[in-house]
Chains A and B, each alone.
Chain A
Amino acid sequence: MSSVAEVGASYSGRQRFPALRALLADPITSIALVLVVGFLVTAAFAPWLAPYSPTRIDVLHKLQPPSMEHWFGTDHLGRDLLSRVIHGARTALMIAMVSVAIAGAVGLLLGLIAGYGPRWLDAILVLTFDSLNSLPMIMFALAIITVLGAGTGTLILVITMTSFPSYARLIRAQTLALKNSDYILAERLLDAGPFRIIFIHLLPNVVGPLIILLSMDIPVVIMVEAGLSFLGLGVRPPTPSWGSILYDGYTSIRSAPFMVIFGGLPLVLATLGFTFLGEGLRDYLDPRMRAGRPA
Chain B
Amino acid sequence: MLTYAFKRIGLGLLILIFVMVAMYAAVFLVPGDPASVALGPRATPELKRMLTERMGLDQPVWWQIVQFFRNALTGNLGYDVWSNRPVSTLVMAALPNTLILGVAALATALIIGVPLGCLSVMRRGTAADTAIGVVSVAVIAVPSFVVAIYSLLVFAVTLRWLPAIGAGEAGSIVSQIEALILPALAIALGWIGYIARMVRASMMEVMGEPHIRTARSFGLPEWKIVSKYALRIAIIPTISLVAVGLGSILSSAVFVEAVFARPGIGKLITDAVNTRNYPVVMGTVLIMTAIYVSITIAADLLIARLDPRVRDVFRG
Assess whether B276 is interfacial by the CB under 8 Å rule.
Answer: yes
- CB of A131 within 8 A of CB of B14, answer yes
Chain A residue at smallest Cβ distance from B281: A146
Assess whether A232 is interfacial by the CB under 8 Å rule.
Answer: yes
B residues 1-53 in Cβ contact with A at 8 Å: 11-12, 14-15, 18-19, 23, 26-27, 30, 34, 37
Majority secondary structure of chain B interface residues (helix, strand, loop or mixed): helix
Give the complex CA separation of A261 and B141 in angstroms: 18
Q: What residues of chain B lie closer than 8 Å to A272, measured between beta carbons?
A: 138, 141-142
- CB of B143 within 8 A of CB of A143, answer no
Which residue of A136, A271, A294 contacts B125 across the interface (Cβ within 8 Å)?
A: A294
Assess whether B251 is interfacial by the CB under 8 Å rule.
Answer: yes
Give the complex CA separation of A226 and B285 in angstroms: 22
- CB of A254 within 8 A of CB of B157, answer yes
Which residue of B19, B30, B254 contacts A138 across the interface (Cβ within 8 Å)?
A: B254
Q: What residues of chain B lie closer than 8 Å to A149, measured between beta carbons?
A: 37
Chain B residue at smallest Cβ distance from A145: B273
Which residue of B146, B272, B293 contacts A264 across the interface (Cβ within 8 Å)?
A: B146
Q: What residues of chain B lie closer than 8 Å to A208, measured between beta carbons?
A: none
Interface residues on B, range: 35 or more
Assess whether B137 is interfacial by the CB under 8 Å rule.
Answer: yes
CB 8 Å contact bits of B261-300 with A (1 = contact, 0 = none): 0000000011011101010011011001100110010000
Q: What residues of chain B lie closer than 8 Å to A253, measured between beta carbons?
A: 149, 152-153, 157
- CB of A292 within 8 A of CB of B142, answer no
Query: Contacts A131-B18, A250-B259, A271-B141; is A143 near B250 (CB within 8 Å)?
Result: no
Stretch of B128-136, B176-184, B207-215 at the chain-chain interface: B128-136
14 additional A-B residue pairs with CB within 8 Å, beyond A260-B153, A268-B146: A130-B15, A131-B15, A134-B293, A135-B247, A138-B251, A146-B276, A230-B255, A257-B153, A264-B146, A275-B138, A291-B197, A291-B201, A293-B137, A294-B124
Q: Which residues of B contact A (CB under 8 A)?
A: 11-12, 14-15, 18-19, 23, 26-27, 30, 34, 37, 124-125, 129-130, 133-134, 136-138, 140-143, 145-146, 149-150, 152-153, 157-158, 196-198, 200-201, 246-248, 250-251, 254-255, 258-259, 269-270, 272-274, 276, 278, 281-282, 284-285, 288-289, 292-293, 296
Q: Which residues of A contact B (CB under 8 A)?
A: 28, 127, 130-131, 134-140, 142-149, 219, 223, 226-227, 230-233, 246, 249-250, 253-254, 257, 260-261, 264, 267-268, 271-272, 274-276, 279, 291-294
